Structure 1
Amino acid sequence: MKVLVTDEISKNGLLPILDDPRITVDFKVGLPKEELHQVIGDYQAIITRSMTQVDEALLEHATNLKMIARAGVGIDNVDVDAASSRGIIVVNAPYGNVNSAAEHTMAILLSYCRNVTLANASLKSGQWQRAPFTGHELKEKTIGVIGLGKVGGRVALRCRAFEANVITYDPYISEKRAEDFGVKLVSLEDVIRFSDIITVHTPLNDETRDLITAEHFEGMQDGVFIVNCARGGIINEEAMLAALESGKCGGAAFDVWSQEPPKSDTLKKLIAHPKMLVTPHLGANTYEAQKNVAVDVSKEIVNYVDGRPISNAVNVPRFDPDLMEQMKPYMKLVSIIGDFISQLAPPNPNKITFTYNGKLARFDCAPLSVCGLAALLNHVTDQEINMVNAGMVAREMGVAVEEVRSTETDSFSNLITLTLEGPQGKRTIAGTLFEGIPKIVKMRNFDIDFKPEEHMLVMTYADVPGALGKIGTILGNAEVNIGSMSLGRTEKAGKAIVVFSIDSPVEEETIEQLKAAIGADFIRPVHIKQ
């Protein structure tokens, strides 16, 4: 795999890919747009920070690109929709710099409260003044944290350590999670109304852009202090400047800007304002954070090369990180089921249903469904299908995809069933894990039990004496060795299904001999990627 690095990235953090002989890494930092467009077609992965714009124009030239890795949390510089339509995985590093960002929030908050920058400049100029730099304590202040995510949660905990009263607004968390941080979950209006200090920690999107406007500033306490170490544009910068100039806001500390580097008159005035403490987007700029985010995206590229699940893909449904290790075996199981049934079922399904029974059904199973769908569709279209574009391709094909979950189950603690419905009827396959090993336990209406292997042979026929002997003889004459066999039948002397694991593929001529010898009404070789 060839990987292109286009921004300054910690080389120590890139060791997982630099040390992998399967991966070639080229460093071409600061390439002009035209040159980048010329070379990008040679690469399967690109690693960026915030300077490279991975937009539609670039992706049109990226004919071999499989992964875009953003070494940081934000993905503002990546056109995720354009990447998804091409089946390109977009990953970021959502945890590598969270501690750095939280600490920088506290650094500029405390620096402002204690007039550190002003006092430092005064003393260095030869003056000895103390009274002008009298500051404020955080103790017993009410601090409003907007967004109690990875960074906001850490900021809330640190503020509580200073004995501040912390309230939070976040429409996507439960009261229980707020209680876990020791903070009170309130409305945005209450954060605006009661806070002495407000700090924002949300992503920038259509919902959060201009989250704090002039109207909100009017409802704040006089002398309120504002902190933004998240993303420029969450706080309307014209409204921020007006609040500082009117005296409504006592001060602010910003690390991020809606335009970076800042060029507009509004931003220049805001940065120059005496009540502003400013830094040039340093939230993630620690040696530890830069190494961590590089390590995180490097590991994702190695996961892709190894065919393992991607943990931090922003355009792929994924489990909570705490569940990922637990769910990986089920992702393998559902991929095998999808791969298996796609080689047996009639073409042109109208509907695909994923059913989850048992303890598994307590969790969001969307990542499993997408994983199984990708494995299934890879056999029915020439387009390369993965978890990024599987749902999109299914919709374009007019295939309905449904998910059913139930904690009730008869024989297994967990069971995944995949059903295909189409013009030629319905096909069903079900599997489970036995001591961590994928097993197929049902096909159509036959109970069966086998471990999927690389080469298999599936057939259905009338269950009559001598049929298995004839099968064994024909395969033996063709020098096809049988590893194992699993037989299922509905009743004595009725219909039977048999699945053989075999050491090598079966030639078409041998299949025709088997069909004639036992009167098989269905016979199909299956190949499962190992």
Structure 2
Amino acid sequence: MPAKILITDPVDAVCANYLIKNGCHVDQIKLSKEQLLENIKNYDGLIVRSETKVTADVLQAATNMKVVGRAGTGVDNVDLDAATKRGILVMNTPGGNTLSAAEHTCALIASMARNIPQACATMKNGAWDRKLFSGNELYGKTLAILGLGRIGKEVALRMQSYGMKTIGYDPIVPAEVSKEFGVESLPLDKIWPQADFITVHVPLIPQTKHLINDEVFSRCKKGVRVVNVARGGIIDEESLLRNLKSGQCGGAGLDVFVEEPPKSEYYKELLNHPKMVCTPHLGASTSEAQLRVAEEIAEQFVTFFKGEGLVGAVNAGSLAVAMSSTNKPWLILARSLGTVTSVLGAVSNIEITVQDPNMKETSFLPAAVVSGYLYGSTGDKNINLINAMPLANEKGIKLSVVKSDTVEAKSLKLTATVGTAKFTVVGKSASDNMGLLTSIDENSFPGGLPMDGSLVFFTGTGSQAGSGFSSIEASLAKKNYAASALYRSTAGKDQVAWYVARVTPDTKEAIDLSDATGIKFISSKKF
């Protein structure tokens, strides 16, 4: 069945055309909040720009939603916490508007230095005042770039061509990396006294809100100029107005605002200040950028729905790693073993032991295992790698990964703590789409038990395989179930053996074994 995609904001037609070409059903229509709440349940994917607000109630109504895509960089119009809890992937296209945003930043810097907008406005009013709008060269000035990712790097390269010295700060980008594109990485307290211009290229998060404020202005050179083409609120706007009026700030170039459009009373004075250059969120508003983000989000959606990979994930880093061709068999195995673990009871801790020395990336394993465990425990099909870890944290389930000295190709061992007892579940990968259960608590299944279909788990003490199988088949038949395959683990004379039946049709109900001597129903699981 083709994926149904809803596009609710103005996105270039190339997006819908590409999706349709690749087998998706697409509706592109602007909806009111009420209409969106009513219709969102019919779609697997949603593509927006910045106009549509994807709030918690919208996501709650999106009962079939798999992915929300932002054709652009910022995702502050999407409730990420609500999406994550619902297991809905959020993706963006961070590279699509890089050049447009960088060029707009450079234009604002040059405009401030030479008073271009102010001079233009007075000429249109009939004035000719060369002296009033005398400016400054950029050559030899110091530009501080806060955030040295894609956009920050492109700004640096362009402003270096003006002869500016570029310094910067980024807690993630190493100093040796920024040095390669000509930016000296410094701590913030060393940046403030040196900067003639400051431009911000960081996301708006609690740590960056009001990053530029009264205290920062007081530590800067008198007349420092600031630029924000990132997100409104990174520069404290009321502080900015105070410092423009005092002259401590010599100019500001803002493309983004806390309120869009700006309505609060202080904006009248801020936007009309003679040292303010402002634009209405135009950083990504070029025909090239809009075409690029439309193409990119469409390509990312098609790749995702075809199961071929994951690009641009905002809230599911482990999913991106897990969907690689190398890790996909491990993902299937880990999730299946997690589901088997749910047979054992309510776990408080799961230790994941990797027994294959060739496995390099293990970061996704906890989410994969616990998603299988939670699905097995609740039957909730919405539990996945996106919301599994937050749900596990809420339930107090701890997970860890260790490497084993035991070498066994494509094998994982789970050690689950249930109350005060510990149990082990071991399996290995059989193919890209299926794992084999090889043992439960050291009782092995010779040849491995394929973890697929609907499996019913039993235990038996002292029973011969034949009589145990006969009792199980008879009990299943009374419930109108047929066993397409039966498995029995090895067990010592006085040990408990595990019996597993693959049944049709699928079942989650308990099987009455009152007539079966020594056989006990444990659980039914759908894989």
Alignment TM-score, normalising by the size of structure 1: 0.77
CA distance in 1 between partners of 2:398 and 2:311 (Å): 23
CA distance in 1 between partners of 2:307 and 2:20 (Å): 18
Residues 368-383 of structure 1: matches in 2 within 5 Å?
368-383=365-380
Gaps of 5+ in 2: 474-480
Matched, 1:410 2:406: yes
Q: Secondary structure at the match of 1:225?
A: strand
Deviation of 1:234 (Å): 0.5
Deviation of 1:386 (Å): 1.8
For the Cα contact (< 8 Å) 1:455–1:525, is it kept in 2? no
CA distance in 2 between partners of 1:409 and 1:436 (Å): 25
Aligned to 1:276: 276
Residues 214-253 of structure 1: matches in 2 within 5 Å?
214-253=214-253
Q: Secondary structure at the match of 1:144?
A: strand
Aligned to 1:91: 91
Q: Report the number of matched residues.
A: 509
Aligned to 1:28: 29
Aligned to 1:5: 7
Instruction: Describe the superposition over 1:191-228 as per-residue Cα deviations: whole angstroms up to 9, x where unpaired.
Output: 11111111101111222111111121111112222111
CA distance in 2 between partners of 1:113 and 1:45 (Å): 45
Instruction: Describe the superposition over 1:148-195 as per-residue Cα deviations: whole angstroms up to 9, x where unpaired.
Output: 233223333444454432222223443344344442222212211111
CA distance in 2 between partners of 1:451 and 1:132 (Å): 84
For the Cα contact (< 8 Å) 1:309–1:328, is it kept in 2? no
Shift in CA distance, 526/321, structure 1 to aligned 2, threshold 3 Å: closer
CA distance in 2 between partners of 1:172 and 1:311 (Å): 20
Matched, 1:292 2:288: no
Instruction: Describe the superposition over 1:120-154 as per-residue Cα deviations: whole angstroms up to 9, x where unpaired.
Output: 56777888887766654444322211122332233
- Out of 519-528 and 214-223, give the one that drifted further: 519-528
For the Cα contact (< 8 Å) 1:449–1:486, is it kept in 2? no
For the Cα contact (< 8 Å) 2:434–2:452, is it kept in 1? no
Deviation of 1:425 (Å): 5.1
Residues 50-449 of structure 1: matches in 2 within 5 Å?
50-117=50-117, 135-303=135-303, 305-307=305-307, 310-318=310-318, 327-339=327-339, 342=342, 345-356=343-354, 363=361, 365=363, 367-383=364-380, 384-396=382-394, 398=395, 400-406=397-403, 409-412=405-408, 415-422=411-418, 426-430=422-426, 440=436, 442-444=438-440, 445=442
What amino acid is aligned across from residue 401 of structure 1 in structure 2?
K
Q: Secondary structure at the match of 2:378?
A: coil
Aligned to 2:17: 15
For the Cα contact (< 8 Å) 1:100–1:284, is it kept in 2? yes
CA distance in 2 between partners of 1:157 and 1:328 (Å): 39
Deviation of 1:80 (Å): 2.1
For the Cα contact (< 8 Å) 2:147–2:201, is it kept in 1? yes
- Out of 41-50 and 226-235, give the one that drifted further: 41-50
Q: Secondary structure at the match of 1:13?
A: helix
Q: Secondary structure at the match of 2:377?
A: coil
For the Cα contact (< 8 Å) 1:222–1:248, is it kept in 2? yes
Q: Secondary structure at the match of 1:194?
A: coil
What amino acid is aligned across from residue 348 of structure 1 in structure 2?
A
CA distance in 1 between partners of 2:50 and 2:256 (Å): 12
For the Cα contact (< 8 Å) 1:97–1:284, is it kept in 2? yes
CA distance in 2 between partners of 1:506 and 1:74 (Å): 43
Shift in CA distance, 323/391, structure 1 to aligned 2, threshold 3 Å: closer
CA distance in 2 between partners of 1:136 and 1:324 (Å): 52
Q: Secondary structure at the match of 2:13?
A: coil
What amino acid is aligned across from residue 25 of structure 1 in structure 2?
V
CA distance in 2 between partners of 1:354 and 1:123 (Å): 71
For the Cα contact (< 8 Å) 1:337–1:430, is it kept in 2? yes
CA distance in 2 between partners of 1:109 and 1:442 (Å): 65
Could you say what the CA RMSD is over the residues aligned between the two structures, in angstroms? Answer: 4.6
CA distance in 1 between partners of 2:383 and 2:108 (Å): 46
CA distance in 2 between partners of 1:13 and 1:346 (Å): 47
What amino acid is aligned across from residue 369 of structure 2 in structure 1?
G
Instruction: Describe the superposition over 1:478-511 as per-residue Cα deviations: whole angstroms up to 9, x where unpaired.
Output: 99999xx99997999x9999999x9998999xx9
Deviation of 1:233 (Å): 0.8
Aligned to 1:45: 45
For the Cα contact (< 8 Å) 1:311–1:324, is it kept in 2? no
For the Cα contact (< 8 Å) 2:436–2:448, is it kept in 1? yes
CA distance in 1 between partners of 2:42 and 2:28 (Å): 13
Deviation of 1:271 (Å): 2.2
Shift in CA distance, 133/28, structure 1 to aligned 2, threshold 3 Å: same
- Structure 1 vs Structure 2: percent identity of aligned residues? 35
For the Cα contact (< 8 Å) 2:310–2:320, is it kept in 1? no
Q: Secondary structure at the match of 1:239?
A: helix
What amino acid is aligned across from residue 249 of structure 1 in structure 2?
C
Q: Secondary structure at the match of 1:380?
A: helix
Gaps of 5+ in 1: none
For the Cα contact (< 8 Å) 1:193–1:219, is it kept in 2? yes
